């Protein structure tokens, strides 16, 4: 039974769904999902879950880290340089690194952010980008997101380009940050390039290229080695059949109510996931085939 995580270094020009299709073909497996869509032009960490591990995606940490280049002095239809230019303005000549740090300060922490019009956000059951490209007016309400860290890496005053490293919560749009930063500076801005370096707890050094999805295939990351923030409950040989039938398990380990727990089969492999519904009792939430 194939069950685990694969981390791709997504190339530019390919959709996240296209990467999923490549993994399905390589591993001969239909059940493959990704953790967090990347726009076609964005590169970097794209975690994929294979087999029963697809059900574990919501239990991975959601924060993400990016390296972004922002072009000042331009406004586009998509808030990046792939869109149609709506406005060009000179970059303030006095602008320096200290000014940029001051301008970035209001974005750090928890803020309300309006997603780009051309985005995957659902509006009335349809994607916002589909409506926008059909010429319909899309009014997306702001959403609460968090920028844990925004570091200014470099500033090229001659070209109006700044490089940032950004750590943020799930659901954050770096294109929106570029747009809003440009508005605050009075000259407009758009995202020039973006690379994701960390997502769902996986980092770039753990990734493989699409070209690597040939025999011998890259080994998958074991969910037990990935979900280290969750406690483990080990089944005894006599518990296995009951677990497979969805029977509540007893645990002597004191755990808080609502705590999710990974359940490990006697052979040391993942047997599923349970939740503490009452003191000392684990209610099965996911029961994987024995020996997964």
Active-site residue list? 39
Cα dihedral: 91, 92, 94, 99 (round 10):
-90
Q: What is the 3-state secondary structure (H, E, C) of 21-54?
A: HHHHHHHCCCCEEECCCCCCCCEEEEEEEEHHHH
**Phi/psi class of residue 25: alpha, beta or left (left: φ > 0; alpha: ψ in -120 to 50)?**
alpha
How many residues does this entry show for the chain? 292
CA-wise closest residue to 34 among 67, 1, 70, 7: 7
């Amino acid at each position: 039974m194939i069950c685990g995580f694969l981390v791709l270094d997504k190339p530019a020009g390919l959709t996240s769904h296209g990467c999923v299709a490549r993994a399905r073909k390589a591993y001969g497996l239909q059940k493959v999902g990704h953790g967090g869509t990347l726009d076609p032009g964005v590169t970097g960490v794209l975690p994929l879950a294979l087999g029963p591990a697809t059900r574990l995606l919501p239990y991975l940490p959601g924060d993400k880290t990016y390296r972004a280049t922002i072009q000042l002095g331009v406004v586009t239809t998509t808030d990046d340089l792939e869109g149609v230019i709506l406005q060009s303005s000179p970059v303030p000549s006095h602008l320096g690194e200290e000014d940029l740090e001051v301008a970035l300060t209001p974005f750090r922490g928890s803020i309300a952010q309006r997603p780009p019009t051309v985005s995957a956000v659902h509006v009335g059951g349809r994607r916002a980008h589909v409506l926008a490209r059909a010429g319909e007016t899309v009014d997306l309400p702001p959403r609460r997101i968090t920028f844990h860290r925004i570091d200014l890496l470099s500033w090229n005053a001659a070209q109006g380009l700044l490089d940032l490293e950004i750590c943020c919560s799930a659901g954050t749009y770096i294109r929106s940050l570029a747009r809003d930063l440009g508005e605050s500076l009075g000259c407009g801005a758009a995202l020039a390039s973006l690379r994701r370096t960390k997502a769902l707890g996986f980092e770039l050094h753990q990734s493989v290229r699409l070209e690597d999805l040939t025999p011998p295939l890259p080994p998958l990351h074991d969910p037990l080695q990935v979900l280290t923030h969750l406690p483990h409950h080990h089944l005894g040989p006599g518990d296995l059949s009951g677990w497979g039938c969805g029977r509540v398990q007893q645990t002597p380990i004191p755990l808080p109510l609502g705590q999710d727990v990974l359940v490990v089969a006697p052979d040391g492999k993942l047997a599923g996931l349970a939740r503490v519904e009452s003191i000392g009792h684990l209610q099965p939430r996911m029961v994987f085939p024995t020996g997964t």
